[in-house]
Structure 1
Amino acid sequence: MRYGILGTTQAHTDDGRPVALGGARLRALLAALALHPGRGHASGTLIDLVWGDEPPADAPGALQALVARLRRALGTGAVESVAGGYRLDARPDDVDLHRFQRLADEGERSLADGDPVKAAGLLEDALALWRGPALSDLPGHEALA
């Protein structure tokens, strides 16, 4: 699975087919989890990231329901329960934000090593990952981005 958060939140299967994610809250949850793939996120943090200053009355229950919907969309193993929260079962390179950072770092090293052609290719690949404002599906995304 590949995830995009450099623009509106997207998910694609390994063969490139888009995954239907549904509403804004579902995309916000995926974006929040994809910020740090493979790491646990406390439920309270996810609630803050998904709902901002206007959480629902039963925020923990609403989060559980949203996680269940995300699991149905991505596959049951994509979002794992961890102590006190959830984690996206993904590697950093599965998320465009982290691929961008890796490519930009490699481009910078190539330039420092005197290989501007390789650097240009890596940096072009990194820039091609951007589809709009980063984390645009999260409330208050400007501060996070």
Structure 2
Amino acid sequence: MKYRILGATETHAPDGTPVPLGGARLRSLLAALALRPGREVAAGALVDEVWGGEPPRDAAAALQALVGRLRKALGHEALASGPGGYRLVAERGDVDLYRFEDLLGEGSAALDAHSYTKAAEVLRSALGLWRGPALADLPEATAEARHAEDLRHTAVRRRVEADLGAGRAAALVPELRGLTAAHPYDERLHGLLLRALRADGRPADALAAYEDLRRTLAEHLGTDPGHELRALHAELLRETTGPAPAPAATPLPETPLAPTT
């Protein structure tokens, strides 16, 4: 079985056929279990994650009933019982969150090795696993969900770096405009926008983008861009202004010829 928790919780049979899951509580329970494939999860932790801050009066009985319904949907062998909880019988690679993490590691390694085309392809595959917010069916945001979203943002940045290294600067500029608008304080994204504009032959636009960022940071955070961005800004200034032209030579006054004798 394959489990998808990067978005609404889904299950697929080995042949790829979707498995109907039923209501929201059932999807919440499966999401909580798929977050720890092959590991026993305590009943109390499952109650907290499935019902959030509003557990039922007889939480233990409600959880048992929900486990029975999940076994009916997935097959009895998919869910094991332990001394203090329940375990989803699955491997790490059966859950899309962990396939995403593995692909992120593979793509980052390719990027660090300057294999830009391969890195962009692998990272694009990793991001393609996302269908919505991580663990969307859990009633309350968890630390694991926030961590997954942070990794997603890292994957986007790394994929942009790979595409930039592969020479796709012109196509990246509109995307980076949108990303920097959505994350106005992410200096790494702004640095990628500046580099993409420079690679696209638009250094003046890159300088204007830097000035926009400098103004935003000053007004909202009371700070200046970091050292890396300031160094990039200095490079852009040198490229756009160039060395000062040498002063023109002043012509010497003409000396009249002496009369011949």
Q: TM-score range by the shorter chain?
A: over 0.9
Quote the residue 2:124 is aligned against: 124
Quote the residue 1:93 is aligned against: 93
* Partner Cα separation in structure 1 for residue 141 and residue 5 of structure 2: 11
Quote the residue 1:109 is aligned against: 109
Alignment of structure 1 residues 2-81 onto 2, 5 Å:
2-81=2-81
Q: Which of the two has greater helix per residue?
A: 2
One-letter code aligned to 2:112? A
Identify unmatched segments of 5+ residues in structure 1. Answer: none
One-letter code aligned to 2:57? A
Q: Percent identity?
A: 61
1:140 aligned counterpart, secondary structure: coil
* Partner Cα separation in structure 1 for residue 41 and residue 131 of structure 2: 25
For each residue in 1:87-118, what CA deviation from the matched residue of structure 2 results, as whole angstroms up to 9, or x when unmatched? 11111110010100000011001111221121
Q: Which of the two has greater strand per residue?
A: 1
For residue 121 of structure 1, report the CA deviation from its aligned partner. 1.4
One-letter code aligned to 2:13? T
Q: May I ask how many residue pairs the two structures share in their alignment?
A: 145
* Partner Cα separation in structure 2 for residue 84 and residue 69 of structure 1: 19
TM-score normalised according to structure 2 size: 0.54
* Partner Cα separation in structure 1 for residue 142 and residue 45 of structure 2: 17
1:77 aligned counterpart, secondary structure: helix
One-letter code aligned to 1:11? T
For each residue in 1:104-141, what CA deviation from the matched residue of structure 2 results, as whole angstroms up to 9, or x when unmatched? 01100111122112111110110000000111100113
Identify unmatched segments of 5+ residues in structure 2. Answer: 146-261
Computing the radius of gyration from Cα coordinates, the structure with the larger value is 2
RMSD of aligned alpha carbons: 1.0
One-letter code aligned to 2:81? S
2:20 aligned counterpart, secondary structure: coil
Higher relative contact order structure (alpha carbons within 8 Å, sequence separation ≥ 6): 1
Quote the residue 2:221 is aligned against: none
